[in-house]
Amino acid sequence: MTVINLKTGNEIKITDEMTLSCALGNFDGVHRGHMALLKEATEKGDCTHSAVWTFRRHPRLCSGDDGFSVLTTTEQRTALFAGAGIDIVIFCDFPEVKDVAPKDFVRRILYKECRVRRAVCGYNFRYGKNAAGTPEMLSEEMAAVGAEEVTVDAVKSADGTVISSSAVRRFLEEGKIEKANDLLGREFCVSLPVSEGQRLGRTLGLPTVNQVFPPQLVIPRHGVYAAKCTIDGTEYKAVANIGVRPTVTNHAENVNCETHIIGFSGDLYGRTISVRLCGFLRDEKKFSSVDELKSAILADEENALRLLSGGG
């Protein structure tokens, strides 16, 4: 178990003087439903700190589900927790607790080891061995030790969609980026290190940055997106292509996010930057020549600027 002070970024120990108002869950995506839990946790009551208890790596990945993909990296989740006003995050490794009985999980891990005195969970929260624990059981066990439990109901979008990580994932894979962003409460963000590319964009007068998706991170529908990118405090409009670059690559082993940041000139190699997807423009396409590719990129840039300026 690792405990991090989100105000300093330093690893800390939970002391006897601390009491936690703690949100519990996987928090994959940290969407609007999750934000409701985080807000409730920051209402600390008599507790000294707000906190999140979560897994460092998603349980489905730990269980060998190779077809599963997460919406956010651990670094992204940590930053979003901090932005929501949470004081500390507790990262646990799933194998350490997967066989712990629900009663023991509450009394030993939450109450005794983590000093949780106010536990916040979602309506569909499950915990303990075989996921046998429920919010009702959590409430009973917390009350038995003189502590409190708060269950947060489902959060829905304007059209009645229950906000969930699986719904966000589905919309991203379908290219419905606006719907995914609505459920997230922010633009979906590709936040990865910039890697060395073929530098073809520079020869075309349209320099790009390349980010390679790691295994088990969700990949939105292949295609071209209107995007935004903030670098050193300045926000730029951008065009991002997610896919395998079929015009210039015969066989790509990895899916790539290649972004032309409009109006930016500089070296970003090795830096982790965040490309925020705002609208789907078109599917990825193989062009017959590099000149045809350049013309398409210029058209994409024009369409992206129109969309980002509210022109549709």
pLDDT in tens, 57-91: 999 998 888 889 999 999 999 999 999 999 999 99
Residue 31 near residue 163 (C-beta atoms within 8 A): yes
pLDDT of residue 157: 93
Whether the predicted pLDDT of 94 surpasses 90: yes
For all residues of the chain together, what is the average pLDDT? 91
Concatenate the DSSP letters of all residues of 96-133 into one string.
HHTTS-HHHIIIIIIIIIS-EEEEEEETT--BSGGG-B
Q: Is it the case that residue 246 has pLDDT exceeding 80?
A: no
pLDDT band with cut points at 50, 70 and 90 for residue 40 = very high
Residue 156, pLDDT score: 94
Position 265 scores a pLDDT of 83
Cβ-contact 69, 218 below 8 angstroms: yes
Structure-token pair, residue 228: 């935004």
Mean pLDDT computed over 185-206: 77
Look at residue 286 in the predicted model and tell me its pLDDT: 80
Q: Rounded mean pLDDT of 93-104? A: 94
pLDDT of 218 strictly over 90: yes
pLDDT tops 90 at residue 25: yes
Q: Delineate the domains of the chain, giving CATH numbers in brackets.
A: 2-152 (3.40.50.620), 181-308 (2.40.30.30)
pLDDT tier for residue 311 given thresholds of 50, 70 and 90: low
- Residues that are catalytic: 258
The mean per-residue pLDDT over the stretch 235-251 comes to: 78
pLDDT at 282: 94
Predicted local confidence at residue 196, as pLDDT = 78
Report the predicted TM-score, pTM, of the whole model to 2 decimal places.
0.89
pLDDT band at 250 (very low <50, low <70, confident <90, very high): low
**CA gap 163, 156 in Å, rounded:** 5
pLDDT value of position 293 = 82
- What is the Cα–Cα distance from 146 to 150, expressed in whole angstroms? 14
pLDDT at residue 203 in the model: 54
Asked if 241 and 235 count as a contact pair (C-beta separation under 8 A), the reply is no
